[in-house]
Amino acid sequence: MAKVLLINPVVREEDVPRHVPYGLALLAAIALENHHLVQVYDANAWRLGEGVLRDVLAADDWQVIALGGMTTTYGSIKRIVHVAREVCPSACIVLGGGILTSLPQDMMRLMPEVDVGCIGEGFVTFPEILAHVDRIAAGGAAEWVKVAGTISRNDDGQLVLSPQRDLIHDLDVLPYPAFDLFPLEEVYFKNSEMMFSAEGMMAQRRLDINASYGCSMICRYCYHLGIAGDMRYEQDESGNIDIVFDVPGKYTRVTRYHSPEYIVKFAKYLVDKYNIDYVLFLDENLMTMDQYSGRTWLKEICRLWHEYGLAPQYTRDDAGNVVSWTGIHWSGTSHATLCTLEILKTMREAGCAHLVYGYESFAPHVLKTVGKGSTPKTNIRSFFWTLEAGIRPVPNQIIGFPAEDFESIRANMRAWDDLGVLVKPHFATPYPGSEWFTVYREQIVAQYGGDLEAFILDLGDASKISAVISHNFNAVELIGLREMMLNRDTKRIDEYERIWRKNHDISDGAPSTLFRVQK
């Protein structure tokens, strides 16, 4: 039995910690099922600095120190593994998650303290890593290449990829995440509120559920990092093996989801054990799973939500206004082209409070390059369908796409008028693992003086600008245009377009774009 310390790195330091790290909690549960001794230090929840981290690392004779996260946690992870190697020189340091999977060879070079990386889905790989540590402790040789889904170093210090790990197809074999290893009462329940709906704002004991893995869409700014069948091991002409994600014209997808019975029994378990009052579904796109199931998945989840006594029951005043309720509200993500009014009404009756829609843009020529399959018409239709169903639609938009131009800026503003909303767009960010990172990597790294690590350190949640992939606008222009959009300052947008056309020698009658479709 290995002594395992799982560390959750700091993420989104500008905000309070809101979400228990679901993947780490699942791996903790799997390690416990395999009889290992597991402790968790949630650095993101506590945010107590390096001194406490050192105390935690020195608190026991850890055989395995494992951590992972999104690419945006790179700065925190780099500091943690450096301190971990100093305090625990004999421990096996394991790195996984999107940060490793998106750039496995680069990350292993940037963090030489890491002994082994877990590429892609870790549900089977991680317990095999722990079993291998046990064999090494018993006198066996370190033969990481025999553990599929890993990257490690040979005796010469060269990086070695083991064979690709297959995805598991029956997600219901997974245990429930070990939420009780994380500071629920001290931290996470105190940050339960979600500011997207009245029900979300009233949440006091929220926990999250991940009901599916992946998405059927090929959005070029998005990344799945192996959980949707998008990752391939390919050999080049020299015989070297590399990991490849989406590239133009070459896409693969595997759609996987928990059964409705698993999901609702899990929710009931959370109610019984933790007395939760709200569930957030972390899924990329609930509607993908509903469509893929033949429009039965969400309907059955809603039916069982009622059957298990989870659906909210309301108390109203004499005027018919809701004054209180019992039961569990929930929310998640939707998709403009895949939702139907029927399923939205069914979801509301079962307690769905709000749905986030990645509308991205309301300009047809931009949407055609994104790969999401939506149009301005479907975006607008889904918004009003959701309102009609009694669910709060939460529009999410992005500017700075490769084809972004003045017409798309104006199209977005016109759509706000049609919908009666004002949206602060995110910036198009080419995260590692996305198609647009692959396509624009050379230009991205050039913006950071050839330093890939500087780009990774600059990545955030796309609310601030990092590398620019727009063909028409630079970072200063995008920040200024977004500000003018929010202020409804069409006069200055028009004035700047005249300056921009003059600077780029584009006549008034020609399209305001330098973008050319990528071959």
63 shares its domain with 204: no
157 shares its domain with 60: yes
Q: What is the CATH number of the domain that holds 211?
A: 3.20.20.70
265 shares its domain with 395: yes
Q: Cα–Cα distance between 146 and 64 in angstroms, integer?
A: 18
92 shares its domain with 32: yes
List, for residues 42-94, the tens digit of each pLDDT value. 999 999 999 999 999 999 999 999 999 999 999 999 999 999 999 999 999 99
102 has a pLDDT exceeding 90: yes
* In a domain? residue 235: no
Q: Please state the rounded mean pLDDT for residues 132-137.
A: 94
Q: Which of 364, 381, 399 is the last residue of a domain?
A: 399
77 shares its domain with 151: yes
267 shares its domain with 148: no
Cβ neighbours around 11 below 10 Å, total: 20
310 shares its domain with 205: yes
* In a domain? residue 41: yes
* In a domain? residue 232: no
Residue 384's domain comprises: 192-216+255-399
Q: Which of 374, 399, 424 is the last residue of a domain?
A: 399
Percentage with pLDDT > 70 across the chain: 99
3-state SS record for 213-248:
ECCCCCCCCCCCCCCCCCCEEEECCCCCEEEECCEC
167 has a pLDDT exceeding 90: yes
Residue position matching structure tokens 């790179």: 74
Q: How confident is the model at residue 248 (pLDDT cuts 50, 70, 90)?
A: confident
| Contact yes or no for 301/260 (Cβ under 8 A) | yes
157 shares its domain with 269: no
* In a domain? residue 518: no
For the chain, the domain total comes to: 2
42 shares its domain with 126: yes
Q: Please state the rounded mean pLDDT for residues 501-517.
A: 85
* In a domain? residue 351: yes
Q: What is the CATH number of the domain that holds 117?
A: 3.40.50.280
Of residues 63, 43, 64, 67, the one with CA closest to residue 55: 43
* In a domain? residue 481: no
18 shares its domain with 152: yes
| Contact yes or no for 435/246 (Cβ under 8 A) | yes
Task: Output the CA–CA distances (angstroms, integers) from residue 214 to 220, 284, 286, 296, in the order listed.
Answer: 14, 7, 10, 18
239 has a pLDDT exceeding 80: no
* In a domain? residue 422: no
386 shares its domain with 317: yes
Would you report the helix, strand and coil content of the chain in percent, each value rounded to 5?
40, 15, 45
Q: Which of 378, 399, 420 is the last residue of a domain?
A: 399
* In a domain? residue 498: no
154 shares its domain with 271: no
SS3 assignment, position 517: coil
Strands 329-334 and 241-244: unpaired
519 has a pLDDT exceeding 50: no
- pLDDT at res. 517: 52
